[in-house]
Amino acid sequence: MNSHESKSKLLPQGLYERLVYADEVDQLQALADTHCALVDQPTQTQRREHLIHEVSSRLPELLDIVANATEGRIEQARAELKLIAHLIREARLNANDGSELRALADPLRLLLALHPPNAVPSIPLTGLRRPWLFTSARSDPSLLGELRAELGAVDHVDILVSFITWSGVRKLIDVLRMATALDAQGLPRTRFRILTTTYIGATEARAVDALAELPGVELRISLDGRRTRLHAKAWIFHRRTGFGTAFVGSANLSESALIGGIEWTVKFTEAADSDLFSAAAAHFETLWNDGDFNCTTPAMRCNGKRLLKHFASNGISQDEAMEMKSQLRSIHGLNFALKRISLKCWSALHQSVGMDGGATLLLLPQERGKRLSPRLIINVARAKRGVRHACYLFPIASRF
């Protein structure tokens, strides 16, 4: 009994999805005849996939064999190239359609980029072909650093995140401005499509505005604060070279997610996982055309008071509220007063008036607008009294 036969006899019970080796045929057929094994004929697609896997998994071993048979780095490189050339030559000799297989350069060369003069782009540390898992470990490349490198040379970017904050945009704004800079024809070098939400108030108006005002950026935002279905976080980098990449994980566009937080993000590539890359791109396209997302270009002035109300209904910071105050006055000509209320008052308002998360812009009588008790707010909301002064209500805590 040779080693291959002994190895085949020790196959554990369980699930498999691989090709059968010649020394296993008799044993597996006997097991199949006794209904102890499931062996089937692969389809053409399955046959191709498994043959490619077989070659790719065995190739490192073959390269080691020929390299170890020689001495010196130059001779080893030539021996490895000779092996590959032999495999390609054999395939060419067996081709009956007259097709030509392109020969590799000798010595081997690696193309990394084509770029304008004196504008060498940054190359991502994790490359453009292999998958990678970002776990925020200190020894790993940082997610922020890789996103910045990816943004340096890309034709089109699709971004899907639940929350966008100014702290996160600030970490990328310089490279985003360079990526969207206008060329000699007046067109942005890179185009962006961004989807986000106002859910629980985490998305900040200042961040949305900063992105939407960049040339070549289209931003759509879901204004339904009651819906929580968008939790996906993804960056899809499209390149005409065929070396696109996609980052899918748990990180929103915020400083804590990009730098300090414990986030997991998987990177996969168009070159190695074309089907997965295409599926991600297609699903983004579906979401982009979903009616739940509204165009915001530029962010605050496109949707005006409606967008401002939804930011407030989910909680905003004092600075954001002050900025909205200025914009609301300039857009709608309203005298605007900021009032901070307690969570208890906020809860009573929602329960008693039946507010749906979008009715937080209330008009209060001028003489009574200085003191906001739960009873007063509820009565005014029910009566809907028309007055000259607008009061913007938001809770003390931004999340509840």
pLDDT at 101: 64
Q: Which of 89-98, 314-323, 356-365 has the highest mean pLDDT?
A: 89-98
Query: Rounded to whole angstroms, what are the CA distances from 297 to 76, 220, 294?
Result: 58, 8, 10
- Using the predicted structure, report yes or no on whether residue 67 has a pLDDT greater than 80: yes
| 195 beta partners | 160, 220
Residue 294 or 111, more confident: 111
Whether pLDDT at 65 is above 50: yes
Q: Confidence band (pLDDT; 50, 70, 90) for 245?
A: very high
Sign, Cα dihedral of 307, 221, 211, 193: negative
Cα→Cα distances 89→31, 95, 268, Å: 39, 10, 32
Say which CATH topology domain 132-295 has.
Endonuclease; Chain A (3.30.870)
Instruction: Label residues 248-271 b or e (16+ Cβ within 10 Å = b).
Output: bbbbbbbbebbbeeebebebbbbb
**In angstroms, how far is CA 251 from the centroid of its own chain?**
9
Burial of 331 (0-12, 13-18, 19+ CB in 10 A): middle
What does the pLDDT read at residue 100?
Answer: 65
Q: Residue 193's pLDDT is what?
A: 96
> Is the confidence at residue 158, as pLDDT, over 50?
yes
Q: For the chain, where do the domains classified as CATH 3.30.870.10 start and end?
A: 132-295
